[in-house]
Structure 1
Amino acid sequence: MGMGSPISAVLANLYREHLESEHFANIIPSSVTWLCYVDDVLVITPKHFDVRNLQARLNAVEPAIQFTLEEESNDELPFLDVLIHKVDHNLRFQVYRKPTNKNDLTHFYSSQDTKTKRGIIIGFFLRAYRICSPEFLDEECTYIHQTFTELHCPSFFIKDCKKRALQIINSPRTNTTPNKVIILPNSQVALNVSKVLSQANTRVAIASSTSIKDLTRTKSNHHEPVNAGVYTIPCGGCDKIYVGETARNLDTRLNEHIYAFRNDNLNNACVQHRNSTNHLMKFRDARLVIKETNFRRRKCLESALIAVSNRIKQNKGSFTISEVLARILLKTVNPAIT
């Protein structure tokens, strides 16, 4: 399975749950605490437990799935973005960052809207309040303030985000969701409108501003063909006509028919008619019956005009879509009508 496939993570989790319930459950003793999140596992064992032996037995289940082991050091163990401290038989928690962390975050003068910048800082403070034990909370808040100050965020802006994070933490959780969502382009007007609509239980999603991709993208010079639609070609030796449709100019399509004539292309209906009757098509008298650029409408109109081809032979002018549809309806009611 490809890593980018949407179903890969779902199937991987299902298979992991199958291994845990059908195989690992018989290996992991009841004295061991097994906490798994995706492909990371936190294992808490008794003091003199043989962890190496447990690792070897787990790795023997499926050769393609091999566990590595990282034991606590100095009574500390990182797990995901949490650094776990063991203090006097109790656990304390702190936000963990890898040594390679560079704090490459959104700059205050970037093109992102203010709501996005505010949301990032609020998210950092929320993580601090939800993870950190009291003795580590002030240190983490100071780190957040310093980090975003270096990204040129004003001090009042950071403090306001911290205040908002505290309100979220202390407010009771509700399951109410907005009834409507409106997407608006990034602008100050959109921000002002979002405050008003929020009172009406309507959320405003702010779309990103112009990106570098939009600025460097070459604009297409493609134009809709002026002669796309359904056309007819009369036969020079009988009263039959050929009805076709094209998404390009009529002259381009006629040149393809003429080329097929010269090369005796048996896949071409006009060539088949010539070979069976020895008649030539009157390409100079070909005309566009209805102009239509939409593919599905064009195909439907082509079939419709074939059904009323007798009238096309008698009328040298153009048709409107309404005339064609009305003629089909009459022919459906009374097949004798031509």
Structure 2
Amino acid sequence: MDNQHNKTTKSKTTSETKRYHSVTYVPKFHQQLEGEINSNQNITLAYKSNNTLSSIFTNTKSPIDSHQQSNVVYEITCKGSENEGCNKVYIGTTKRPLGVRLAEHEADIRKNKNSTALAQHVLASGHTADLTNARIVDREKREKTRYTLESLRILQKRNVTINKKEDTDDIAAAYLLCL
């Protein structure tokens, strides 16, 4: 029985307390349940259905491709080179569509710009970043919270991350327990 919807009222004519319980309607079972409940005259059952409009129409929108999503914290894996595997990760954040940010990473590497830790790693080691399989790890519209999540994710994977220490300077390690 669903106790959130239970209500207790006192009858004006008697001092007995009457209880109301909301339960899901199950065909055939409700008759057996009512028979048992009727022996106790202080309880009244109210039947409800689990079929609600929100349960029927919750998935009406088409999913958005991950490269079109914005306000995200993302993870890019380094594939290494032909001779060696790497499997280190780069954690980043963007408020713009992820595909735009990934194209910037790709351009930085192609133009030999050392503007991010990812580009520095790829250019110094000769490895390849797996930009096509970048993974969204968090979604957050609030900028400061998104930066905090990015720092926490970097700390969480500190043994395999490409990111620099400066990316986590303003975060307390105690927050790691929240993830």
Higher-strand-fraction structure: 2
Structure-2-length-normalised TM-score? 0.48
Q: Report the TM-score, using the length of structure 1 for normalisation.
A: 0.26
Greater RCO (Cα-Cα under 8 Å, separation 6 or more): 2
Q: Which has the higher helix share?
A: 1
